[in-house]
Amino acid sequence: MIDKPFSDITADDIQNLLDNHVRESVTIEYKQALPDPDDEAKKEFLADISSFANAAGGDILYGIAELRDAQGRCTGEPERVIGLPGVNLNDKRTWLEQVARTGLDPRIPGIQMKPVDCPDGTVLLVRVMRSWLQPHMITFKNHNSRFFSRHSTGKFPLNVDDLRSAFTLAEGRVEKIKAFRDGRLGRIIAGETPVLLPNIPKLILQLVPIAGFEPLRHTEISLLDAIQDERFCPLRNYSQSQRYNIDGIVKYYLSQNLDSGTYLQVFRNGAVEAVCTLETDSQNTIYTQAHETDIIQKLDAYLMAERQLRVEPPFLVMLSLLGVKDCSIAGGGRQNSIDRDIILLPDALLSEYDADMSTFLQPIFDALWQASGESRCFNYENGQRR
C-alpha cells in the first residue's frame, strides 16, 4: 500500500513505485487493464478486493505493465505506466463499485477509487482497507461461498481452518464491544462518571469503532485539540470544559445547581460516549424531538473527530436510556409508558463516514418510540425528517 493518505497520492508516488522497483506484495498489486464485463472477470475482481479486505488492506493499480521473465511470465515488478486508453473512467468506476456492492457478503465498506494522471497515461488507483467485518465471501453466481486472503505472492483461497480462525476473531470483537457497552452502562448506573450527574433519566450515545478492539490499539487523543467545530461537544450543550483523564479526554458541562449535566468522553481506542440527562414533566413525559435533532447533528461532529484520530470505519452506533421506567414519549397518540428501567436500542452498523445521519438513525428512533407503545417515530414522514 502506498504510504500516504489516499487523497494525497499523486503521479510522483506512482513513479516512485517504478523507480524503486516495488514488487507486488501483500498490500499492492499491478494490473495492466481494467476487468472486462464478463462473469469471469467480475469474479476475479471480487477475489482481488476481498483478498485485500480479508488481509491487511492494499492498493490495486490499473494501467501498469509488469516486467516479464524469459518465459513471458509476470514477475510482479512494475515496468511502466501504459494507462487506460479508450476507457471512460467515470463509467468504469461506477460499474466496479456496483460489482463490489452486489457481489460480496458482507459488503466491503470504504472502497476508494480515483484516476491518477501520469505523464504516460492515467492509472486507476483502487484502495481497499483492511475490513473489520471480515471474512468477506464472494456471492456472485456460481462462485458462492468462496473466501480469499493474501500473502506475499498474491491471493489464495481460505481453507476450513483459516475460516474458523477468521470467524472466531470476528465473534471475539463483537463480544468485546458488547462487554464495553455493558461495562460503561454499569459505571454510569453506579455514578462512576467523569462528572457528577443528577439521579434522573439519562440518554447514552456510544460510537464504537470495531477496529478499536484490536490488541494494543491506541489513538493519539491530543489530535482532538485541533478540532474547531463547535458541535464537537456534549449532547444538549454547546459550551463545555475539557480535561484529559485516564480514559482519554472528556468535555463536560454541569450546572451549578446540579439539575442537569452532560459529558462527552473520547476513549484512547477511539470509542466515543456522550451522556446527557433527560428532563421530564410532571407526567414523566420525555420530549425527544430536540434530543433526536441534537444526536443527528452531534454524531456528524463525533465522526469528524474519528477522522481526526485516523480511525477507520465501520462503527457501531448504540443508543441506551437509563432510569426511564414509567416514562412516555411526547408526540404520539397512545402515551403508553416504558415498561423497564434500562432500554438498549438496536445497534446500527455505520460502514462509512459520509452516510446521511438523519436517515441512518431513523430505525433507532423508531425503536425508541416503540418502547413507549408507538408504532414508529412520528418525527419522520415517508422517510424524511420533519
Question: Per the structure block, which three cell numbers stand in for 44?
Answer: 476475479
The answer to whether residue 373 scores a pLDDT higher than 70 is: yes
Domain boundary pick from 158, 183, 215:
158
Asked whether residue 102 falls in the same domain as residue 237, the answer is no
The answer to whether residue 374 scores a pLDDT higher than 90 is: no
Asked whether residue 85 falls in the same domain as residue 32, the answer is yes
Q: Is 385 helix (H, G, I), strand (E, B) or coil?
A: strand
Asked whether residue 68 falls in the same domain as residue 122, the answer is yes
Query: What would the DSSP string read from start to end of 299-334?
Result: HHHHHHHHHHTTPPSPEEEEEEEES-TT-EETTSSS
Q: Domain residues for 145?
A: 6-158
Mean pLDDT of 329-339: 75
Average pLDDT of the chain to the nearest whole number: 87
Domain boundary pick from 158, 189, 220:
158
Asked whether residue 109 falls in the same domain as residue 247, the answer is no
Asked whether residue 88 falls in the same domain as residue 185, the answer is no
Asked whether residue 261 falls in the same domain as residue 330, the answer is yes
Residue type present at position 152: S
In a domain, 165, yes or no: no
CATH number, domain with residue 42? 3.30.950.30
Question: Per the structure block, which three cell numbers stand in for 245?
Answer: 483523564
Domain boundary pick from 129, 158, 187:
158
In a domain, 324, yes or no: yes
Overall number of domains in the chain: 2
pLDDT digits (tens, 9 = 90+) for 362-371: 999 999 999 8
Asked whether residue 68 falls in the same domain as residue 175, the answer is no
Decide: 129 and 39 in contact? Cβ < 8 Å. Answer: no
Question: Per the structure block, which three cell numbers stand in for 200?
Answer: 434522573
In a domain, 362, yes or no: yes
In a domain, 241, yes or no: yes
In a domain, 166, yes or no: no
Asked whether residue 124 falls in the same domain as residue 178, the answer is no
Predicted pLDDT of residue 176 = 85
Asked whether residue 240 falls in the same domain as residue 280, the answer is yes
Predicted pLDDT of residue 361 = 95
45 — pLDDT class (breaks 50, 70, 90): very high
Residue bearing cell 486472503: 149
Distance CA 252, CA 234 (A): 6
352 — pLDDT class (breaks 50, 70, 90): confident
Asked whether residue 320 falls in the same domain as residue 216, the answer is yes
In a domain, 146, yes or no: yes
Query: What would the DSSP string read from start to end of 336-364?
Result: PPP-SSEEEPPPEEE-STT--HHHHHHHH
In a domain, 201, yes or no: yes
Residue bearing cell 474547531: 228
Asked whether residue 142 falls in the same domain as residue 216, the answer is no
Mean pLDDT of 167-174: 74
- What percent of the chain has a predicted confidence (pLDDT) above 70? 95
Decide: 203 and 329 in contact? Cβ < 8 Å. Answer: no
What is the reported pTM?
A: 0.71
In a domain, 244, yes or no: yes
Query: What would the DSSP string read from start to end of 177-238?
Result: HHHHHHHHHHHHHTT-SSS---SS-EEEEEEEEGGGGSTT----GGGGGG---TTSS-TT-S
pLDDT digits (tens, 9 = 90+) for 197-244: 888 899 999 999 888 777 666 678 787 777 777 778 899 887 678 889
Asked whether residue 95 falls in the same domain as residue 195, the answer is no
